[in-house]
């Protein structure tokens, strides 16, 4: 399957097309879900210009022969990952630890290697290539404590014209000495990175204190100052992932009401604040997250792998907390958001909850875009939005081909895809209308 020779950023595809205009609720769903069994997607200069049924396009005088025809493929907006670690690619599938031991045994040694700028550049390239091979076109990503590693990640994203939100990890205590900054040096490094990268093209900066145990109160306050000073910044960190972590927080911050209060006192809550995990939260923490518009990144694969616990999604949603979904590579065991959805389904099933396929794929696309305040430019095929999208092969092997041959509805087809699917299903990935990954297998 070869991409057509269109001008850069211009595409005309005819295929099965699915996108969402709102969250599916089961009522009036036809207004939230737009699916064309035979549709046309038109892109010019990196932006969506039209999406409609092929028949309607032909009736309006559009020449369908202009399109590349992929009748057996499904085209969707690119997937969005709200919590992932660039330097942890090489620690995936490392055996047998829970969170705190995992950090010391695997994560910190892997991140120390990023002190070499050439290594950081190489790994940034590999990381983004793996994202694109999984159909992920936008991510909220952690670099390491090294400023040059954040530079390398932004350079690699800029080269591919990706929309990326990322930041340098802030960490001034309780970590290896040669993997820490100070409150002052970290603020200085972040200020330079913000001014160089934030808002440049499709790039955004995220203040990134790893988590409260590895940042002093002074460093968290410095992050809070930057959060106020620069418009449109993101803030990402970890919250309430592991029970031993909670005990550690109590000893480090004895005057805080609870874990979230540590971040709240530093001024780090807000609509662009994304807290990874949020498994063991009190009612007061949920209320405060909801009141400030802060969101929680649901990382089911990681939570299962590290034995951290099961996120009670229904409880967070009932409290009005925004929830997005993420791989959390490298404790997460796959870059594939399809496999992440399968694990989310299992986590919820264990708690008597469920995850239907339409809601799941809404979340990977428009839902995560809304949660990250990027839905003005990403998440669906509304005219004028960035043309970040994925071409999905629903039948890359005999098993999936047989299962898809039995489905009776779109919902069934999507559910089979999210349970059986992975990187093999990703035929192509596009960023701003240009093909940035093609599966040649």
pLDDT in tens, 344-384: 999 999 999 999 999 999 999 999 999 999 999 999 999 99
Q: What is the CATH number of the domain that holds 46?
A: 2.30.40.10
- The mean per-residue pLDDT over the stretch 106-126 comes to 97
Q: Is residue 22 part of a domain?
A: yes
Residue 365 DSSP code: I
Same structural domain, 61 and 86: no
Q: Please give the radius of gyration of the chain, using alpha carbons only, rounded to the nearest integer.
A: 21
- Kindly tell me if the per-residue pLDDT of 26 is higher than 80: no
Same structural domain, 170 and 104: yes
- Kindly tell me if the per-residue pLDDT of 180 is higher than 90: yes
Percent of the chain with pLDDT over 70: 97
pLDDT, the chain, mean? 96
Identify the domain boundary among 305, 335, 365. 335
- Kindly tell me if the per-residue pLDDT of 3 is higher than 50: no
Residue among 80, 78, 89 nearest 332 (CA): 89
Q: Indicate the pLDDT class of residue 5, thresholds 50, 70 and 90.
A: low
pLDDT in tens, 235-289: 999 999 999 999 999 999 999 999 999 999 999 999 999 999 999 999 999 999 9
pLDDT of residue 96: 80
- Cα separation, 359 vs 411, in Å, equals 10
Q: Which residues does 296 contact at the CB level (< 8 Å), separation at least 6?
A: 239, 274, 275, 276, 277, 278, 289, 311, 316, 321, 322, 323, 324
Same structural domain, 129 and 20: no
pLDDT of residue 10: 87
pLDDT of residue 31: 78
Same structural domain, 207 and 231: yes
Identify the domain boundary among 304, 335, 366. 335
Same structural domain, 48 and 150: no
- The mean per-residue pLDDT over the stretch 135-156 comes to 98
pLDDT in tens, 40-80: 999 999 999 999 999 999 999 999 999 999 999 999 999 99
Q: Is residue 345 part of a domain?
A: no
Q: Is residue 67 part of a domain?
A: yes
Same structural domain, 87 and 70: no
Q: Is residue 32 part of a domain?
A: yes
pLDDT in tens, 216-230: 999 999 999 999 999
Identify the domain boundary among 318, 335, 352. 335
Same structural domain, 291 and 145: yes
- Kindly tell me if the per-residue pLDDT of 194 is higher than 90: yes
Same structural domain, 83 and 73: no
For residue 428, what are the domain limits?
11-78+379-438
Number of domain units in the chain: 2
Q: Indicate the pLDDT class of residue 441, thresholds 50, 70 and 90.
A: confident
Same structural domain, 123 and 264: yes
Three-state SS letters, 235-283:
EEEEECCCHHHHHHHHHHCCCCCCHHHHHHHCCCCCCCEEEEECCCCCH
Q: Is residue 349 part of a domain?
A: no
Q: Is residue 354 part of a domain?
A: no
- Kindly tell me if the per-residue pLDDT of 29 is higher than 70: no
Same structural domain, 144 and 214: yes
- Kindly tell me if the per-residue pLDDT of 175 is higher than 70: yes
Same structural domain, 112 and 24: no
To the nearest 10°, the Cα dihedral for 263, 140, 334, 434? 180
Name residue, tokens 């005057």: 255
């Amino acid at each position: 399957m070869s991409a057509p020779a269109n001008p850069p950023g211009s595409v005309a595809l005819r295929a099965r097309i699915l996108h969402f205009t709102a969250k599916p609720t089961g009522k009036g769903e036809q207004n939230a879900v737009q699916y064309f069994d035979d549709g046309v997607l038109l892109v010019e200069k990196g932006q969506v210009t039209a999406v409609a049924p092929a028949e309607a396009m032909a009736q309006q005088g559009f020449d369908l022969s202009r399109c590349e025809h992929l009748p057996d493929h499904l085209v969707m907006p690119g997937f969005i990952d709200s919590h992932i670690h660039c330097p942890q690619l090489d620690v995936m599938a490392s055996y047998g630890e829970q969170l705190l031991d995992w950090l010391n045994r695997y994560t910190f040694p892997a991140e120390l290697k990023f002190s070499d700028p050439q290594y950081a550049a190489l790994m940034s390239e590999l990381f983004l290539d793996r994202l694109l091979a999984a159909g992920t076109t936008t991510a909220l990503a952690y670099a390491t404590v090294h400023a040059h590693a954040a530079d390398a990640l932004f350079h690699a994203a800029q080269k591919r014209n990706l929309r990326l939100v990322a930041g340098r990890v802030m960490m001034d205590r309780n970590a290896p000495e040669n993997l820490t900054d100070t409150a002052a040096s970290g603020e200085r490094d972040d200020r330079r990175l913000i001014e160089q990268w934030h808002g440049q093209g499709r790039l955004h900066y995220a203040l990134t204190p790893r988590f409260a145990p590895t940042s002093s109160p002074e460093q968290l306050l410095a992050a809070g100052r930057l959060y106020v000073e620069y418009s449109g910044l993101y803030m990402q960190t970890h919250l309430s992932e592991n029970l031993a972590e909670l005990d550690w927080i109590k000893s480090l911050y004895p005057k805080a009401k609870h874990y979230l209060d540590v971040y709240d006192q530093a001024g780090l809550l807000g609509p662009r604040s994304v807290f990874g995990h949020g498994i063991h939260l009190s009612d007061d923490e949920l209320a405060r997250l909801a009141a400030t518009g802060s969101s929680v990144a649901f990382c089911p694969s990681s939570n299962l792998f590290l034995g951290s616990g099961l996120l009670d999604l229904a409880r967070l949603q009932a409290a009005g907390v925004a929830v997005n979904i993420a791989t959390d590579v490298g404790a997460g065991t796959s870059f594939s958001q399809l496999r992440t959805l399968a694990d989310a389904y299992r986590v919820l099933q264990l708690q008597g909850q469920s995850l239907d396929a339409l809601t799941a794929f809404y979340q990977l696309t428009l839902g995560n875009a809304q949660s990250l305040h990027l839905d003005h430019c990403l998440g669906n095929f509304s005219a004028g939005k960035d043309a970040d999208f994925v071409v999905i092969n629903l039948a890359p092997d005999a098993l999936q081909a047989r299962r898809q041959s039995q489905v009776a509805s779109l919902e069934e087809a999507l559910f089979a895809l999210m349970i059986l699917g992975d990187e093999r299903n990703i035929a192509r990935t596009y960023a701003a209308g240009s093909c940035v990954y093609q599966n040649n297998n």
